[in-house]
Amino acid sequence: MLEPSSNSELPPIPGKRYFTIGEVSELCGVKPHVLRYWEQEFPHLNPVKRRGNRRYYQRQDVMLVRQIRGLLYDDGFTIGGARQKLSGTEMKSDNSRSRQLVREVRKELEEVLTLIK
């Protein structure tokens, strides 16, 4: 399990359309039962459910989980505070989220450059 303060050290999100709960668990550094709990607490986190109630997360869901993780583990928010922060910044661009996305894209581009050379 990753340390709570290592949100910046999470692996890059692959270019897939859907992710299982196990994959999201590994990508975000939280256990599956925590993800299921967060689905109840954060109305914006709503993965697609298919046969047998299997959850399929999309890329924006994975990014939201990482944002929730950062608020709870790194910034010390409570569940209620994180929920309020997310609903308050829903329409605004979040700088930390943007920075993380830029870091991920940059890392992927550097990997592509390495492969080309």
Confidence of residue 19 (pLDDT cuts 50, 70, 90): very high
- CATH label of the domain that carries residue 71: 1.10.1660.10
Residue 2 domain flag: no
Check if the beta carbon of residue 33 is closer than 8 Å to that of residue 101. no
Residue 1 domain flag: no
> pLDDT tens digits, residue range 89-107?
554 555 666 777 888 888 8
- Report the distance separating Cα 117 and Cα 85, nearest Å: 44
Q: Which domain holds residue 24?
A: 7-116
Distance of CA 60 to the CA centre of its chain: 8
Given a cut of 90, whether residue 1 has pLDDT beyond it is: no
Given a cut of 70, whether residue 76 has pLDDT beyond it is: yes
- Report the distance separating Cα 24 and Cα 1, nearest Å: 13
Given a cut of 90, whether residue 37 has pLDDT beyond it is: yes
For the chain, how many structural domains are there in total? 1
DSSP per position, 82-93 = HHHHHHHSSSSP
Token couple for 9: 């050290």
Residue 71 domain flag: yes
Q: Is 86 left (phi over 0), alpha (psi -120 to 50) or beta?
A: alpha
CB atoms within 10 A of CB 99: 11
Residue 72 domain flag: yes
Given a cut of 50, whether residue 5 has pLDDT beyond it is: no
What is the chain's mean pLDDT, rounded?
A: 85
pTM: 0.68
